[in-house]
């Protein structure tokens, strides 16, 4: 399967690495809005192409993996390029998924392509965990914990405070809350009980430390409902100790069965990721395989991870999967 990458940031580079681990996949081109001569990629002999020329590649690519952001890139790009290619994106603005789906579905159906949206781990593998565990434990309660990992949105919110030069914010699940959930006691947990927030902040010269800390800890929605710790550090320390892209989390469903609901069950799915973008990229490539196969079967339209049989993600045949993985 011939893969194109649109957008060469952390995610696009992750897809490039992932393709090397998937022997049935081949990278045929990287598309960019930047000046192609300014981009260096890791794979030899793969052209870097200006996005304005992408239509010329219509018959040379089986799946285009869209590696832009959910705020402004994907709402435009996914419907646009689903008219030319099978596409996969990692659109992760949960509240806007239904409207994104509708636009992409129309574009993909009109041109007989498959578009898989909202691929990654949340939405993505965590969504699968939620749907499977709800289906098999209808009488129960869901818990999702994120972290430990950097939240881009919360880091951005800190950087907008006057006097802040740079910042990174970690979301951290509270161990005692995780243990309470795993005990099967179906606890009611407040926002504060589930996660803590830890901030590493670099100040501008002369900024008011106490005032910045106060503004962070009282920021509505972002921090006021959490126990938040603020550390002031230098830019060098931030670059040295907080440039990592690790993330992860836990989806747990706790449910009861039996005549008198006397039996507890815990279904838990968790991820511990050294590199959030590289892991997401691997999920994108697996769903690119599914998109390619579904389209070869004559299917078209927008799909999510919930619509796709697991076997379509694997490079192994269904016979091999039944014999060795079932």
CB of 30 to a second copy, least distance (A): 16
Of 20 and 240, nearer to a second copy (C-beta) is 20
Nearer residue to a second copy within complex by CB, 167 or 301: 301
Say how far apart CA 141 and CA 189 lie, in whole Å: 11
For a second copy, the closer CB: 32 or 127: 127
Tell me the closest approach of the beta carbon of residue 56 to a second copy, in angstroms: 29
Give whichever of 76 and 102 is closer to a second copy, judged by the CB atom: 102
For 103, other C-beta atoms within 10 Å of its C-beta total: 18
**CB count in 10 Å sphere of residue 120:** 25
Nearer to a second copy, 1 or 18 (CB): 18
Give me the residues that bind a second copy (CB under 8 A), please.
14, 17-18, 21-22, 42, 94, 97-98, 101, 118, 123, 125, 127-132, 134-139, 182, 184, 257-259, 262-275, 278-279, 281-283, 286, 289, 304-311, 313-315, 318-319, 321-323, 325-326
The distance of closest approach from Cβ of residue 231 to a second copy in the complex, given in angstroms and rounded to an integer, is 25
Nearest approach, Cβ of residue 183 and a second copy (Å): 10
Shortest distance, CB of residue 140 to a second copy, whole angstroms?
9
Residue 104 CB, shortest distance to a second copy, in Å, is 12
Nearest distance from residue 50's CB to a second copy, in Å? Answer: 25
Shortest Cβ 218–a second copy spacing (Å): 31
Token code pair at residue 221: 């929605």
Tell me whether residue 125 or residue 164 sits nearer to a second copy (CB atom): 125
Which CB, 13 or 215, lies closer to a second copy?
13
Specify the residue, 207 or 311, whose C-beta has the smaller distance to a second copy: 311
- Give the per-residue SS3 of the chain: CEEEEECCCHHHHHHHHHHHHCCCCEEEEEEECCCHHHCCCCCCCCCEEEHHHHHHHCCCCCEEEECCCCCCHHHHHHHHHCCCCEEECCCCCHHHHHHHHHHHHHHHHHCCCEEECCCCECCEHHHHHHHHHHHHCCCEEEEEEECCEECHHHHHHHHCCCCEEEEEEEEEECHHHHHHHHCCCCCCCCHHHHEEEEEEEEECCCCCHHHHHHHHHCCCCCCCCCEEEEEECCHHHHHHHCCCECEEEEEEEEEEECCCCCEEEEEEEEEEECEHHHHHHHHHHHHHHHHHHHHHCCCCEEECHHHCCHHHHCCCCHHHHHHHCC
Which tokens belong to 70?
A: 């959910």
């Amino acid at each position: 399967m011939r893969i194109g990458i649109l957008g060469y940031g952390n995610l696009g580079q992750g897809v490039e690495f992932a393709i090397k681990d998937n022997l049935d996949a081949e990278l045929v081109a990287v598309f960019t809005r930047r000046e192609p001569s300014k981009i260096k990629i890791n794979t030899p002999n793969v052209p870097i192409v200006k996005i304005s020329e992408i239509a010329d590649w219509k018959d040379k690519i089986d799946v285009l993996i869209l590696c832009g952001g959910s705020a402004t890139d994907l709402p435009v790009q996914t419907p646009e390029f689903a008219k030319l290619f099978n596409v996969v994106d990692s659109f992760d603005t949960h509240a806007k998924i239904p409207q994104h789906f509708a636009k992409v579905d129309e574009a993909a159906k009109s041109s007989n392509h498959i578009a898989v949206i909202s691929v990654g781990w949340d939405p993505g593998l965590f969504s699968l965990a939620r749907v499977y565990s709800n289906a098999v434990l209808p009488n129960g309660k869901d818990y999702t914990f994120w972290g430990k990992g950097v939240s881009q949105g919360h880091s951005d919110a800190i950087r907008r405070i006057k006097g802040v030069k740079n910042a990174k914010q970690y979301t951290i699940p509270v161990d005692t809350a995780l243990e309470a959930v795993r005990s099967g006691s179906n606890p009611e947990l407040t926002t504060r009980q589930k996660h803590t927030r830890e901030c590493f902040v670099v100040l501008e010269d002369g900024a008011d430390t106490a005032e910045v800390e106060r503004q962070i800890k009282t920021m509505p929605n972002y921090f006021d409902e959490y126990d938040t710790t603020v550390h002031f550090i230098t830019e060098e320390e931030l670059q040295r100790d907080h440039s990592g892209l690790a993330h992860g989390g836990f989806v747990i469903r706790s449910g009861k069965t039996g005549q008198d609901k006397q039996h507890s069950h815990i279904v838990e799915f968790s991820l511990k990721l050294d590199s959030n973008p590289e892991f997401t990229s691997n999920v994108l490539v697996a769903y690119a395989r599914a998109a390619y196969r579904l389209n070869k079967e004559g299917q078209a339209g927008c799909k999510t991870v919930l619509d796709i049989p697991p076997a379509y993600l694997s490079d192994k045949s269904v016979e091999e999967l039944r014999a060795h993985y079932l």
